[in-house]
Amino acid sequence: MIQYTLGNGGTYSFDYQGLRRDYHRIVHQTDEQFMAELPAALHFAVFVCWVKGLDAHWVLADDGIIHQLVHLLHLPDEPVIMDDLPEIRRLFAELLELK
């Protein structure tokens, strides 16, 4: 268990090995499973981006992983985004990998 404290004084913990299991479960989902569980993938991505200290560009820019996941969640029928699902999933797997 790894513990951390936020600015509000709250102390929290997470299990690194549990995060790794979550990562592997998510990246091995079918596209249909991934889309059905998109809120959980987004929550995972936000936490891992924070833990890894990823640069804002890779997270929030138009082509950032969080921005792309939010597009999938918010605009699921937008053709440009749906056509990019394999690329978004590749970016997810690459940026959020936990070794």
Residue 4 has pLDDT above 90, yes or no: no
Q: Is the pTM of this model over 0.85?
A: yes
Name the pLDDT band for 44 (thresholds 50, 70, 90). Answer: very high
Q: Is the pLDDT of residue 9 over 90?
A: no
Per-residue pLDDT, 83:
62
Domain residue limits at 89: 2-95
- What is the C-alpha separation between 39 and 64, in angstroms, rounded? 16
pLDDT score recorded for residue 51: 94
pLDDT of residue 75: 80
Domain count, the chain: 1
Give me the pLDDT at residue 22, please: 98
- Give just the sign of the alpha carbon dihedral 58, 60, 65, 66: positive
